Structure 1
């Protein structure tokens, strides 16, 4: 299943971001499903049935690549809690949106050429997926309110913390110090294609999701809650 992009129209609204931005309420440990719907801003995608199927396929591939040897497979999905491994999220985003997740372990720009390119163009990033204390949430920007990231967290659907985009590196650094895993969403680059991410196309690559209704609203930014 691949996503088909559809044109949307810009509007102005007096609603708050919490009225417009899609954010499911936390259900058991299904934050994997919640964060995929939050970062894509689509409630009709990433059903649990689909995510379970992805998990089964990943486990099957792992078994095949192990040549049928007896092994302790990774737990891609926990039936009793609804918890999904990060590999399930990665495969799901790749299947539907052709989007990769690139993990950022350090904020220095000399870890790899791609990491250095991303970090030196952090102003173009559309979204981060954060894995912190066995919980997923995302930091997401929207086109008409691009100066702010919104923390979209299923554990707090009534308020989305606002983070100024020029302070995002400090925010990410604080998360790394707390032991969080940080993933940047980026357009997938197939190994066999004559295409690579460079300074020419990095802006497009780092804004991979199609427009959602929240992209086309002038979201109201009020003073941050204390």
Structure 2
């Protein structure tokens, strides 16, 4: 029996998020420049997106570029932006063919105008697709997201649009970039690093975390299956006891 056959399709994470880490280290191991690692990482993106859609996962969010990534060498940042544009153009047909809707979160205004244009065009052309929502986190930082939400909510309180007494988790959710997405059920990070790196800090409060030594360009279907199987073996209690869950 294959790994895929052992997956319970009735117990899939409704929202899977991935920190795609290890492109640079993969390239270094091959004696190549970091840009080649990022290029090879796009192949794993395609494999992961298509596999998730086929399994029936409803929401997939990929950490594509963080607010801190601007601090990387200029050439690497330029390469990442060019890859974003070329990948969007190349994968539009795949997204439409697989009935996948593209979404994005983050402060997009800092992205190059050409990248913004291509991104918004693909979002528009896939907006009626219903099989899965693919969200790209671009120029995204969880602290910036929460800070932005606090400012907007504070302004609404100041202008008597909402009462301070009505502020609860749902109000905060409504002012996050992810307002139309459910909380993350499973978070995967590749490359052996065991940290969250400012990614979806609010949304992963009760997520199952899965860390793998596999570098992102080497991440394939079997690696995804292993993560999902690990998720399905866990008991999600949300603060309750095992007896209460049963």
Name the TM-score, length of structure 2 as normaliser. 0.28
Name the TM-score, length of structure 1 as normaliser. 0.29
Question: Whose radius of gyration is greater, 1 or 2?
Answer: 2
Larger helix share, 1 or 2? 2
